Each structure stands twice: as C-alpha cells, then as structure tokens.
Structure 1
Amino acid sequence: MDFLLYLALVPTLGVTAQWLAWRTKLPSILLLLLFGICLGHFVVQPDALLANLTGGDETAGPNLLFPLVSLSVAVIMFEGGLTLKLSELRESGSSSLRLCTVGAALAFIGNTLAIHWILGFDWHLSFLLGAILVVTGPTVIGPLLRQVKPSRRVASTLKWEGIVIDPIGAVLAVLVFEEVVLAQSAPHWSGALQSLVLTSAIGVGLGVAGGALLTQALRRYWVPDHLHGVAALSLALLLFALSNMMAHESGLIAVTVLGIWLTNQKHFDVEHIIELKENLRTLLIGCLFIVLGSRVNLTDLATIGMPGIGLILALIFIVRPLSVYLSLLRSPLNYREQTFIAGLAPRGIVAAAVSSVFALSMESRTDLNIPGSEQLATVTFLVIIGTVAVYGIAASPLARLLKLAEETSRGVLIAGADAWVRDFATELNAAGIPVLLVDTNYNKISQARIAGLRGECANILNEHAREDLDLSGIGRLLAMTPNDEVNSLALRECRAMFESSRLYQLTFKTKNAAGRRGLTKNLMGRELFGEGLTFTRLSEMHAAGASLKTTKLTESYSFADFQETYGEVTTVLCAITAEGGLNINTVDAPLVPVAGQTILALVSSTPVPEKHAVKASKKRSDASNDGAADADTSRERAKEAGNEEPTS
C-alpha cells in the first residue's frame, strides 16, 4: 500500500468508526480497535509499511510512531484537564481522591496478583502490567458517560478519576519498570518514593508555571485572539517534552495540571481553546486507536486463549469492585453509586500507548530475559477490547437498574417562564415530559412552581448557574424568552450541553428577521412551531383567548378531523409518540401527526392580527401576578422591538 493512502485512510476509518458508534450507540473505542485490527490484519501494518519505505529497517516504525503517539496522548490529557472544574470537587472531591489513591493502590495489587496467577507471568512483568492496567482514561469514560448520563455526582467522580488516574498509572508504571524490571530484583522503596516525589514535583511545577505564564500573556493581550488555541497547544506540547526529559512520564502530569489551571482561572474565557482541543482530541483518538490497533496481531491474541478471558473477568468482577468498595468505605456516595462506579472501568489509549512503549523498550534490551515480555502489549490490547466491550454494553442497563440515569432524555429545559410558556410547560408535564423552567424573573418562577412545575430563578447565560441545574432526564433546550438576542446567546452557550439538533428557539421578530439592524439566521437554532410565530405573536394569541389543547389521535379521529373541529386557526406545537417520545414542530421539519400520537396545539377560535393585536392582554388573569414582567411584555407588544434586557 502507498504510504500516502495509508495516512489518508487512518483518519477516514477513525471518523467512520465514531460515526457508526454514534448511530448504533456502541462504544466508539471498541469499533475503533476493531477497525484498526482489521486494517492491520487484512491490509497492512504500519511497522511493515515503514520498514519497506526505509529499506527493511524494522525499528523505523516504532521509532517514528511512539513519539507521535506520546504527543497525541499529551494533547488528549491536556483537553481532559480543561474539562475539570474545581467547583465539581464540592460533590465528588473526597470520592475522587480516594479512588485515585487508595483505590489505585488496591487495583495495582489486585491486577498484579490476577496477572501472575491467571496468566502465569513472572512477578516482574506482572508488577509492570498491573501498574499499566490501573488507568482507565477520559477517552473511554467520557463517551460512556455521555451515552449513559448518570447522576451528576457519579459522572463527576468518574470523570475526575478517569483523567487524574492516567498520569498516576503512567508514573507508577515507570517506577515499577525502573525499580523492578530493570533492576531484576525486589524494589527499593526508598528510591521509588524519591522518584515519585521528584516526578510529581516536576510535573506539577511545570504545569503551574506554564498555566501562570499563559494566563498573564492572554490577559495582557500579548497574544492575538486567533493564536490563543495554537499557543495553548504549543505550550502544552513543549511542557510535555521538557517535563519528560527531566523525569520520565511526568509530562502527563504537567499537561493535565496546565489544563486544570487554565479552565479554572477567571481572567479570560477559554471556551474557544476548549473547542479547538475537543475537535483535535476526536481526530487524535480515532487515529491513535486505528494505528495502534493495526499493530495488534490476531494470532498473538488467539495464543493467549482462555487465560486472557479469565483475566478480563477477574479484573471486571473481582479487582475493580473490591478496590472501589474498600476505597469508598464510609464515603459520601451511597451503595448504588458505588456499585455503578465499580461497574465502570474500561481501559483506554494511555494503557495502550504506555504498554507499547515499554514493550518496545524491553525488546531493545538484550540484557533482559523476562518470560512473556513479548506479550505485554498484546495482553493490554486484549484487556482494552474486553473491558470496553463489557462495560460499554452493560453500563446503560446497570445505570437504569440502579436508578441512576433516565432511560431516555425526553425532558426539556425552557428558557423563559411567561404566562403562555407556563401553560405550555404544564401540558407537557401532564403528558409525562419532564420540564425545567429557567427565568430571571422571580414572579414568573413563583407562578410556575405554584402550577406544580420545576423552576429555577437563574440566568441561563450564567455559566455557574447552568452548572448547578439538575438536568437529569433533560435532552432539549427551548429558548422562549421575549428577547431574540438572549434566545440566540442561550443556544450558543448551551452547545456543550445539547446536540445542535436539540437546540430550539422562537423565530425572530420582524425587525430582527431582516435588515442590517437585525440578527442573521446563522445565530438562530431550530425555529419553533412555524413561520412568523414570534414570541409577541404567540403571546397575543394566548392573551386573546387561545388555549393549549392536548388531543390523542386515533384511527377514527385523525389530524384532519382535529383541524375540521377547531378550524385552520390552530398551531401544532409538538406531538408525543405512543412510546412517550417528544417530537417538536419546527420550520425545518414540520410535524405530520399520525394516529397513536398525542398532539399539543394552540387553538384559537378566531384569527389574531400579527401586529399590535390586543390591548386586552392585560385582562389575563395572571397579569397581576407577573408585575414588572408584564410591563416588559407590554413594551414588547407596543414596539415589536422589545429587546431591552435579558430575562433569562
């Protein structure tokens, strides 16, 4: 195969595997590994390809590959650090600390014993592989958490453990390699402790120094905006390389600390930096697993046989539960939460990369004679495939069994709580759709709570307020405030919480829909309900007497019958399927209700003028309850401009 074609094929297969994982709800890492193994088995292995290009030099592949793998892992760990908010430690700090210390030590011991007794490996190799398999990793934990959506405390604990445990496991593996494998004797614990302290100090010190330097550079505008992302990336790679030169594998600590520092400082926004790293991480994860998977020999996997399966079962059902339950004894987490954490520990890219590096190191050392050392990387990949497959398939059912996650995210988060919005939310709630209203007007939220709705008096644009929202069971955002600018900005701020296909807002007012003084369509999410149905229009219809009506369609009573009964002056807002799913009517995908669905429509007896329709809106019964909020709405109707101040 041509090397250029191989380089193009790797990212293509990586993206294809992740797309298939999204469509089939399977773990993406599992598909990536399978694609990589098939590429190496049926097409070509990267080592053989590079050896052919260099005239038969068998070391060319590993010598070129593993520095690139190490830098890619550094980028992934940096991006993982950027997701760690110190505020999350209020809920999960104690549990995460226990898992990364006591839990890691117990896992190391359990892994070592299982490897020695089941695979029959030498104690030196068992210690090394046991240290490598301590790690879990954000590359596998993150996608599973997004798929399962467990409770916030559990998700925060697993996320912190998955990211922090990677550098800990890598450093532990280095200490074991230097003190046990290379020395070929019992470990010198005093020397190992000194190495641990030195490695940790170098990694943390360089990470903090780099974070402080970059913070000063960006807050003083020494770096232009278009270079923020690449400057942060370049600094992370430089710190990783320098730190590793000073102490092996301390670079993972440095880049993780750098990410944590940047995301928790308050001097500038790092959202654009995070966005760049997220896209890069997705590409790198796909490429790394494809390339490393293509180096795995299926024959080598088969030679491990039943002992390999026994090892996977022991790690999943004995080592992980014991390490979790013992380390979390008397922790704030309850038994159900501990059980779910005990049932989720897939291995990821760090385990694959570290094991491959150590395997290469032992192959190059002629003075080492450790039986089974050639199987180090193979066993690691077998564990990765086995744990990802088991945990990926079992995580969702386990979360539902333990009642830690909603079966589906049918609920909606609504920005805005005006009178007609509250009536809409009430109908959804009565139909079994979870609803959470967010508004800055306390009177509106009070009315929502009186009506039996969940409501939070908060600003949807406030990052800290969004983080405190309980979004369990919530899968959509509907921006329905009177302010178009607030609606658009709310959708942009919530892109990390919801997919773009699940971000909705009311159509722009006339003045915002056209003209240079208005807003452009690219700032809009999916337009709700229909053309011309602005907040003002819907509010006037509601004030003029239009009512929200929920109707079950059957074979004998179709949507055409419904329209004939209530006339053409009806606006279908959404439909609830027989299975309880929610379909929202939008301009880009108008609903066609069918038998078996329950439709929610705004029914009006007579047409309402689009502009300045009714001053009678003040006769609504809750005008007196909304106080200043209704004054804002009145100004909206009078001016059709209405964008005076954010209300949500």
Structure 2
Amino acid sequence: MEHLLVGLASIVVLGIAAQWISWRLRIPAILVLLVVGFVAGPVAGFVHPDALLGDLVFPLVSLSVAVILFEGGLSLDIAELRDLGRVIGRLLTVGALVTWALSTVFAILLLGLPPGIALLFGAVLIVTGPTVIIPLLRHIRPTARVGSAVKWEGIVNDPVGAILGVLVFEALIAGGLEAGLSVVLPGMLNAAVMGTLIGLAAAGTVVLLMYRHWLPDYLESPVALALVFMAFAGANHLQQESGLLAVTVMGSALASQKLVSVHGIVEFKENLRVLLIAVLFIILAARLPLTDPDYFGVGSIGFFLALVLVVRPAAVLASTWGSSLNWRERAFIAAMAPRGIVAAAVVSIFALELVEAGQAEAGRLVPLIFVVIVGTVGVYGIFTPLLARLLRVASPDAKGMLFIGGCPWARQAAEILSDLGIEVLIADSNRGNVQAARSAGLRTYHGNVLTEGALDEIERQMDGIGRFLAVTPNDEVNALATVHFRELFDSSLMYQLPPEETERERRQRGIPQHLRGRTLFGDDATYAYITQRLGEGAVVKRTKLTDEFDFDAFRAHYGDDALPLFSVKESGDIIIYTTTSPPSPKPGQTLISLVDPVD
C-alpha cells in the first residue's frame, strides 16, 4: 500500500515539476515530460505504471483523454469556421485519407508489415491529438488563422482516427479486409451519429441545468465533469471509441452556445488538463521498453522520416490547395503533426488483442508507435517553434501590451513602445481617444471591453500581445476588466492603475485584492495624478541609459518627480514598473518615463 502511494505521488510530482521546468526554460512541456518519464521509468526503474495501476492503466488513460478532448472541444467555437471552415473540413477528410493511404504504403514498404496490419497502423496515425497539439500551440502562439486550423484538426482528428482504427481492427478480426468493408462503413456512420447525438444531449443537459439555475455555482464544474464521463462511457458502450467524438462535440456545443456562461467550467477544465497531461506523459514515457530492435532500425527511422517529410506535407498540400492560406501558413501547418497518448493507448490495445488472435506481427506496433510519438514530439517540439519565427506566423515571446483606455499619456507611451518595435493595442469606448490613437498609427479596438463580444474580437487581434494594462479613470472598470480578461492573460502579466481611494475605503467598497491586477508605477501614480502632471506640462519621454548617463544621472537631471513607467532591454524584453518591483534600470536599457521638461 505504501509503495503504491509513493508511486502515484511520484508520477504527479514529476509531471508538475517537468511542467514548471519547461515554463522556466521556455521550451515545450511535452519534451521535458517525455525525458523525465523515460528517466524515471525504464532508465532508473523508479516508476512502474503497469505495476502500480495494473489493469486500470488504460481505463484511467481513456477517462483522462476524454477530459482533455472535452476541454479541447470547449476551445472549438463554431464561429471560427466562417473564415477557414473549408480548409478545416478538407484537413479532416482529404488530409486524413491522404495520411491513411500514404502511411499504409510506407508501413508496407519500409517496415514490412502485412497489408492488414499496415492499414490499421495507418488509420491510427491519422490521430494527432490535443494532448500534444494544445501545449505546443500555447508555447508557439501562432496567428489566429493557422492556430485555429491546427487546433481544429488536432482535436477532431483524435476521435476520427481512433474510430477508424477500431473499425479496421474489427474488420481484421472479422476475416480480412474484403469481409471488413461491410463492417467499416456502417461502423463509421454509427459512430458519427451516436457520438454527435450523445455529445449534444450532454451539452444540452449542462445548459438546461445552468439556465434554470438548478445547480449551485460550486457544482457546475463537477456536474459537467460527471456528464463528460457519462457521455464518454455511454457512447463507447454503443460504439467502441465513439466516446471521444461525443465529448468533443459536447465541448464544442457548450463553447458555441450563448445562453449561459461556461467560463467557470473552462477554467476548471484548463487546470485539470495541465495535471492530466503531466500525468499521462509521465506514464507513457515510463512504460517505454528500454530496448527493442524497432527503435533504431533503418526501416523505423525511414518510416518516421517519411511521415514528417512526405506524408504530412502531402496531406496539407492536398487539403489547402486553392485555399486562402499563403505559403507560409501552409508550411507551418505542414510542420505540425505530433502524435500523443491516444495513439499509444489505441495501438497498445489493438496489438495485445491481435497477438492473442494469432497475428504475431501486430506486436511490432507498440515499439513502432513509440518511435513515432517520441520522434514527432521531439522534431515538431524543437523545430516548429523556430520555423514559426522564420515564417513570421507566430509570436512565441508575446511582449506587446493591451491598453484598456486610450487617454493621452497612454497614447504617448504606446507610440514610444511601437517605435521600439513593441506590439501595442489600445481598446477604448471613447471614440475621440480611439481616433487619436489611429491617427498616431496605433492598432485600436473601439467598444465596451466588458462585453462578451469584445473579448472574442480583441482576442483575434492579439498577435504579439502578452501583457494587459487597465488605465481607465474608473477603478471599478479597471478591476472588472482585469477579471474579464483573465482567461486571456496570466495574472502575473495583468496590471492596473492604483485607485484614487485609500486602502480602507477600497475595502469598504468591496473590491478585493484578488480581483485586481498588479499596481502600476507606484501607490501615488493614480489616473488623476498623471493627468494633472500632463496638464502642468509633463510629457512621456524615452531615455537611452548609458554608462555615462545612468539611472542616478537621470534622477539628478529630471528630479524626484520623474515617474518611470517602463524600460526596454536591448533584447526587446519589457520591464513594467509596479509597487512591488520599483525601477532599477541598467545602462543599455531604454527608460520610458513621465518627466517635466528641463531646459
């Protein structure tokens, strides 16, 4: 019992530690998780998932994948299909068929697999999956068009590939490919219908319970999770692997409806997804056998290279031919097809049952799928972020700023930041402020930022934006905007001006600290104070600090009333000054500050 407890705790701790290391080093989390899991499992022998969990390994993996796919479905808003619906549809049909066909051919030619086993392996390789795609997209931060296309393909292809694999498997068991055609076509139709209907019914149940207020707030996420499990298990009972489609449809339906807000469910599932992905990849890597002839065989390496260099580009080319995507966007999509935990789980089950049925060659599928998973995650995880930068379709280090409020001093600061190559977006409901910002060549959004539609529209303009600054004259609006945009920004990158009132008055008015952003510039740097300084002739100015004219010299020249706002390093990184991180700029940095003119 104690050994089991230590083993389970170790998997969770190692997974979360790997996630933290990847965040600190700014590298894809999947790579760190695979390395940590492999070292803890087959190398050190510290973690043994099969010994710890026994027959529960695959059921627990399946339920975890169901939650991850549901969370992925929550990010699939049908409105995204208006622009790229044709491309996404062709990636899910033409692209899937090309991948299946070419993977099957290469499996026969390079791996020497029998046609039936090769056809099964090719079907499973359609799966890319959100367990890998979503963390990579979060790391790369591609532009909205290509990000949406890759996201939709990765999430929806998971159930499609898994269902197709199951049907090919059933065809093999039924007596070969000729007899199996009668199994595959009705099975695909049945899985599509059952998965869609059950997913819509589960989503409708959640919406009804919330719309009628039949659930307290604290039960909304647990009930949604219970319905995810119910939909997954129920659909799988009726048609094997159709549960993956059911939970994906359920998530997308909830994301697309407008009757109730599901932000609480989304936030809960996002946190759960981080934990589940960490645990799943530690388990996956820890189950890898240490040695196998297929790991480093010429055929295995050739097959992996064919997947990356031939199969994926051919599938994308066929799917995007004649579309509005430019060559850079197509090249990025062609460099994003990593395989993950779903492919490993499905292949492991198929291989076990086919070997028991007398098809010994099926036993090779397990090491082969691990070669594909480790290889594609490694190649795409390392090289795709670099390729995205070269193709200019992503902003991995989003340094730009979203200003909520376009007052004069904010526009002056935004102009300086823009001149320094920093992306800036100004959002304001005041038409005069917006027009003045546009006249200065700045990107803008005109409208009430607290509406649901504004959140979606601003998100589509956020290429290169990674920091949030609420600088309106209304403290309540600043606090509400901070809460409203929390799903788009990390809390450590959200800032707002200090309130006009005292701490005691603020507590009495009921604006708790956890609803606020980090306090900008200083406790006295309120909107009224900065506006008054501007009225008295102060300006926002940039100053290049040097060894001869450092920060002390700056203070001596402009006096103690100078208010440092930001500093930009030579690397382009920005430091935003707050009450907890006072200014200490170094020579070589560009200081942006509010200063009085000096003769």
Q: Which moved more, 1:481-490 or 1:299-308?
A: 299-308
Paired residues of 2:568 and 2:589 also in contact (CA < 8 A): yes
> 1:44-70 CA deviation, whole Å, 9 max, x = no partner?
5636635xxxxxxxxx82x22111111
Provide the rounded CA distance (Å) in 2 between the counterparts of 1:38 and 1:84: 35
> 1:599-629 CA deviation, whole Å, 9 max, x = no partner?
11111369xxxxxxxxxxxxxxxxxxxxxxx
Confirm or deny that 1:456 pairs with 2:445.
yes
Aligned partner of 2:469 in structure 1 is 478
Q: Select which of 69, 89, 93 maps to 1:101.
A: 93
Q: Which moved more, 1:314-323 or 1:35-44?
A: 35-44
Cα shift at 1:301:
6.3
1:376 alignment partner AA: L
Paired residues of 1:411 and 1:473 also in contact (CA < 8 A): yes
Cα shift at 1:421:
1.7
Paired residues of 1:551 and 1:599 also in contact (CA < 8 A): yes
Aligned partner of 1:588 in structure 2 is 580
Mapping 1:171-210, distance limit 5 Å: 171-210=163-202
Aligned partner of 2:371 in structure 1 is 382
Aligned partner of 1:78 in structure 2 is 70
Q: Select which of 303, 328, 332 maps to 2:324.
A: 332
Confirm or deny that 1:150 pairs with 2:151.
no
Aligned partner of 1:636 in structure 2 is none
Assess, with a 3 A threshold, how the Cα gap between structure 1 residues 356 and 188 changes in structure 2: closer, same or farther: closer
> 1:80-102 CA deviation, whole Å, 9 max, x = no partner?
11111111111221111100011
2:568 alignment partner AA: I
Paired residues of 1:301 and 1:382 also in contact (CA < 8 A): no
Aligned partner of 1:49 in structure 2 is 51
Q: Which moved more, 1:112-121 or 1:452-461?
A: 452-461
Provide the rounded CA distance (Å) in 2 between the counterparts of 1:47 and 1:72: 15
Cα shift at 1:76:
0.9
Paired residues of 1:122 and 1:370 also in contact (CA < 8 A): no
Aligned partner of 1:294 in structure 2 is 286
Cα shift at 1:37:
2.2
5+ unaligned residues in a row in structure 1: which ranges? 51-59, 607-648
Cα shift at 1:191:
3.0
Paired residues of 2:50 and 2:287 also in contact (CA < 8 A): no
Cα shift at 1:290:
1.3
Cα shift at 1:188:
3.5
Cα shift at 1:327:
1.7
Confirm or deny that 1:428 pairs with 2:417.
yes
Give the alignment's Cα RMSD to 1 decimal. Answer: 1.8
1:429 alignment partner AA: S
1:3 alignment partner AA: L
Partner SS for 1:548: strand
Paired residues of 1:128 and 1:181 also in contact (CA < 8 A): no
Cα shift at 1:231:
0.3
Q: Select which of 468, 480, 483 maps to 1:492.
A: 483
Instruction: Pick the structure with greater CA Rg.
Output: 1
Q: Select which of 537, 540, 548 maps to 2:532.
A: 540
Provide the rounded CA distance (Å) in 2 between the counterparts of 1:158 and 1:547: 45
Partner SS for 1:300: coil
Provide the rounded CA distance (Å) in 1 between the counterparts of 2:218 and 2:63: 23
Aligned partner of 2:309 in structure 1 is 317
Cα shift at 1:515:
4.0
Paired residues of 2:295 and 2:367 also in contact (CA < 8 A): no
**How high is the TM-score relative to the length of structure 1?**
0.88
Aligned partner of 1:443 in structure 2 is 432
Partner SS for 2:509: coil
Paired residues of 2:449 and 2:455 also in contact (CA < 8 A): yes
Partner SS for 1:4: helix
Paired residues of 2:170 and 2:180 also in contact (CA < 8 A): no
Paired residues of 1:203 and 1:254 also in contact (CA < 8 A): yes
Cα shift at 1:464:
2.2
Provide the rounded CA distance (Å) in 1 between the counterparts of 2:101 and 2:229: 33
Provide the rounded CA distance (Å) in 2 between the counterparts of 1:354 and 1:48: 16
Partner SS for 1:372: helix
Provide the rounded CA distance (Å) in 1 between the counterparts of 2:253 and 2:396: 35
Aligned length, in residue pairs: 593
Q: Which moved more, 1:142-151 or 1:510-519?
A: 510-519
Aligned partner of 1:638 in structure 2 is none
**How high is the TM-score relative to the length of structure 2?**
0.95
> 1:130-162 CA deviation, whole Å, 9 max, x = no partner?
111111111111121122222110001111111
Assess, with a 3 A threshold, how the Cα gap between structure 1 residues 406 and 258 changes in structure 2: closer, same or farther: closer
Cα shift at 1:406:
3.4
> 1:448-493 CA deviation, whole Å, 9 max, x = no partner?
1122222221222223223223111111111101111111222222
Cα shift at 1:103:
0.3
Aligned partner of 1:626 in structure 2 is none
Identity %: 44
Provide the rounded CA distance (Å) in 1 between the counterparts of 2:158 and 2:258: 27
1:66 alignment partner AA: F
Aligned partner of 2:26 in structure 1 is 25
Cα shift at 1:180:
2.6
Partner SS for 2:321: coil
Mapping 1:175-324, distance limit 5 Å: 175-300=167-292, 304-324=296-316
Partner SS for 1:188: helix
Aligned partner of 2:407 in structure 1 is 418
Assess, with a 3 A threshold, how the Cα gap between structure 1 residues 255 and 568 changes in structure 2: closer, same or farther: same
Partner SS for 1:602: strand
Provide the rounded CA distance (Å) in 2 between the counterparts of 1:114 and 1:100: 21
Cα shift at 1:184:
3.3
Aligned partner of 1:408 in structure 2 is 397
